[in-house]
Each structure stands twice: as structure tokens, then as C-alpha cells.
Amino acid sequence: MIRLSVNVNKVATLRNARGGDFPGVLDAVQVILAAGAGGITVHPRADQRHIRPRDVREIAALMRSLQAPDVEYNIEGDPTPEWRELVHEVLPDQATLVPVRSGELTSEAGWDESSDAQAMKALVRELKGKGIRVSVFVDPRVSAVEWAAGVGADRVELYTGPFAVAFAAGSGRAERLFADHVLAAERAHALGLGINAGHDLDLLNLPLYRTLPHLSEVSIGHALIGRALFTGLGAVVAEYLAALRTPTANPG
């Protein structure tokens, strides 16, 4: 079964729009896990536009209290000194290293073979030394996957943004892009890397994307939380779990 890790950043975005503590991020986490999701993802950013360090710590404490070994905590982010300090404190199951571009609304690209391999090797070694599985966010190219293997990552997370845009446009380009993801996944598997994926995956494109060879985990936030406004959070988690199990899905 492909793990569904739900990104709760958008819950924090809504809370932060008015200040205070409502809607509660911890409340959302509990609903998501009760509905059967296999993980929670957060992506704290330096500007604290959504998830904040307090949230990261409180979610970690909650998940430890649940004593659910099959449920994982994934912290994504730009590996700044502050992010690394927070990850060292919290000790999530997985840390996903994501490059950040100035002014971006959301992630726009992954690491590639032009990135500083020596610095990344040291960072990966540091995190793995704390018992944290390390995933590296990369574009779906064989060369980028090989770079990730070279720096010692445990997994890659394939960036699915362009695939999702093409799929929504209804062009044959989505199938061609998906073929690139397949090549990257096959190469990652051959190199001993696990395979995660994320960015703009939804109920419409998941029936195709779930067929990716060796796929272990998808991280989904925006589309899932957005649909929950109309359908309910627990119900939407159930829809996504069904989409990962079956070849078709009806988003209603």
C-alpha cells in the first residue's frame, strides 16, 4: 500500500489569517490519522507563513503519544541552520530536503546535479546519524536521481508539479511527463533508493500516478485540504486512500 502523508500547512494558513489557534492544526492531525492516513507532513518556512516551530513540536509530541509505529512524521524544508536545529530537536521519522527560491509561493523545482554535492553529503550524514530517514526532493530526471544517490539519500521525492499541470490541461503531455517519472523511479530503485512523490497530486491525477513503479509514499496537502472545505476532512482522507488502492477514483 502506498503511504498517504497529509501536508497540514494549509490548515495553519487558515488559522494564521485571523490569528489565534482556530482552526487547530492538532485537531486536523487527529482527524487525518483517525481516518487512516499513514503520515503527517509539515513544511516550516523561515517566514512562518503557515506551519510554525511550535506546531512542529506539538505535532511531534502528539504523534509520540499515539504510539502508532505505522504512522510517520515527515518534516520538509530548506536545510537552513534553524530548520536543522528544529529537526534535530524533534527527530521525525523522515526529513525531506527541499530547495527554496526567493519569493516562491510553493516549491518550484528539486535539487539537481549542479547542487553542491559535498555540502549535501555532510547534511545527509548528519541527519542519518540522528536516526532520521532522509529524502531528497528532485526533478524527475535520471541524472538528478543519481546525484541524490551519490549524496547518500535514503529516498527521493519526485517533483510532480509539471505533471499535474499537464494533466489538468488534458493534453498528452502528461503521459509523456509520466514516462520521465517512470524512468527516474526505475533508476532510483536500481540504486537502492525509496521513492516518494509530491506536489499538486489530486484525486484526478492519482489514478495514473499511483501506477508509478516502486512508489512508497505520496505527500498531498493543498488539493486535499481544499476539498475538505466542502466534503469534510475525514471523508476526503478516505477518498484519497481509496484512490491509492484502486485504478479509478470519482472526485464527485
CA atoms of 109 and 137, how far apart (whole Å):
8
Q: Which residues are catalytic?
A: 43, 76, 199
| Burial (0-12, 13-18, 19+ Cβ within 10 Å), 140 | buried
Q: Are 133 and 155 in contact (CB under 8 A)?
A: yes
Chain-centroid distance of CA 60 in Å reads: 16
Instruction: Give the count of beta carbons closer than 10 Å to the beta carbon of residue 67.
Output: 7
Phi, psi of 176 (to 5 degrees): -65, -40
Amino acid letter, residue 98: V
